[in-house]
Amino acid sequence: MTIVLSWDLFVLVFFVVIVAYSFIVGRDSTLKIILGTYVSMIAADAGGTVFSQYFGGSVMFMKLLKLAAVGNEQEAMVLVKVVIFIAFVIIFAVKGAFEVDTVDDRSAAVRFVLSILYAIMSAGLIISAILVFVSGISFIGAGEPKTTITALWDVYNESSLIRSIVNNSALWFSLPALAFLVHSLYTKKE
């Protein structure tokens, strides 16, 4: 059996790992990860921009770029944003100073379906955020979806999965929040 490495395979494996992890930690922790992901997206975007403004062009920064084999300041800012994003998501998941405690007033089947949906939405949200950072687009500074497609053009053309994620990124960004809101509205408080 020959396995051909592709962007689709990479994204699919990453997606499955996040979904599996979501099942391991449970629905409440997955919701905590989703909320932490939203905060991390904005913090990483702003942090990368601040990093670029204060350190971009400095002698020390240029030496660091050379050492890290990063081609230019734009790539460095993308790297900083992705590293900050991943670090913040992990910190929020493990040490976040907030808890999510949903009430289990539904049947086991409904709770299982909710766990599946939240796991899928968590994976889609994290992957979409990373793709936006890699494209060089800013959440804070906005950007057109066409700009994202231009920045990711090679990968976009090679991977139907990445094409689908990028084309539907607004859905991936909004669905977890909407699902959590609807879940909150229909949950009886203790």
Residue that wins the pLDDT comparison between 81 and 107: 81
pLDDT value at 75 more than 90: no
**What are the boundaries of each domain within the chain?**
14-185
Q: What is the per-residue pLDDT across 83-142, written as a single tens digit (0 to 9) for each?
A: 999 999 999 988 888 888 887 767 888 889 989 999 999 999 999 999 888 877 777 765
pLDDT band at 152 (very low <50, low <70, confident <90, very high): low
pTM: predicted TM-score of the whole model, two decimal places: 0.79
Q: What is the per-residue pLDDT across 21-65, written as a single tens digit (0 to 9) for each?
A: 999 999 999 999 999 999 999 999 988 888 878 877 777 777 777
pLDDT band at 166 (very low <50, low <70, confident <90, very high): confident
Three-state SS letters, the chain: CCCCCCHHHHHHHHHHHHHHHHHHHCHHHHHHHHHHHHHHHHHHHHHHHHHHHHHCCCHHHHHHHHHCCCCCHHHHHHHHHHHHHHHHHHHHHHHCCCCCCCCCCCCHHHHHHHHHHHHHHHHHHHHHHHHHHHHCCCCCCCCCHHHHHHHCHHHHHHCHHHHHHHHCHHHHHHHHHHHHHHHHHCCCCC
